Amino acid sequence: MNRRVRHEYHLIETLETGIRLQGSEVKSIRTGQVSLAEGYARVDLADMGLYLYDVDIARYTHAGPDQHEPKRRRRLLAHKRQIAKLVGLTSIAGTTLVPTAMYFSRGWVKVELAVARGKHKHDKRQDMKTRDAQQQIRRAMVRKRI
């Protein structure tokens, strides 16, 4: 789960995709050795493929000499109409595709992508104020029950 994404971006729409991996990458993901913090996705218009960049999947310690590259480009698996929709949404200035989560679903690794627009500093401050206010309300409610 990439918690930083919700702090840095307004999430417009999400999409669940599959991902093409090597065996040592799957084992490394099972052990939780993944960093989505710097990752982003892009549509390659030459082949209409969706690719994931800068996601760090650490090397699996028990694998042999045939290891994977930790920050290699990885192909994401989505339908053509979904990719076409993402092209339309990301063609708007200021939007990007960011990975929000990587998880297992029925034994397959899935990546949740979000079309996102960057937040300004005042947006982040406003979010922090509302979160603090909600927290104080919850605390007051708990005190009244006692």
Structural domain contains residue 14: yes
Residue 97's nearest CA partner among 89, 105, 106 is 89
The average pLDDT across 84-99 equals 90
Question: How many structural domains is the chain composed of?
Answer: 1
pTM: 0.77
Structural domain contains residue 127: no
Residue 76 sits in which domain range? 3-119
Structural domain contains residue 20: yes
d(CA 117, CA 142): 36
pLDDT tens figures, 27-36: 888 988 888 9
Structural domain contains residue 81: yes
CATH of the domain at 44: 2.40.280.10
Instruction: Indicate the SS3 state at residue 120.
Output: coil
Structural domain contains residue 83: yes
Structural domain contains residue 129: no
pLDDT tens figures, 28-64: 889 888 889 889 999 998 888 999 999 989 888 887 7
Average pLDDT for the chain: 88
Cα torsion 134, 139, 140, 146: sign:
positive
Structural domain contains residue 133: no
In this predicted structure, what is the pLDDT of residue 114?
93
In this predicted structure, what is the pLDDT of residue 113?
94
d(CA 87, CA 134): 37
Cα torsion 72, 76, 81, 82: sign:
negative
- Residue 22: pLDDT band (50, 70, 90) is confident
Structural domain contains residue 130: no
In this predicted structure, what is the pLDDT of residue 19?
94
Cα torsion 95, 98, 100, 102: sign:
positive
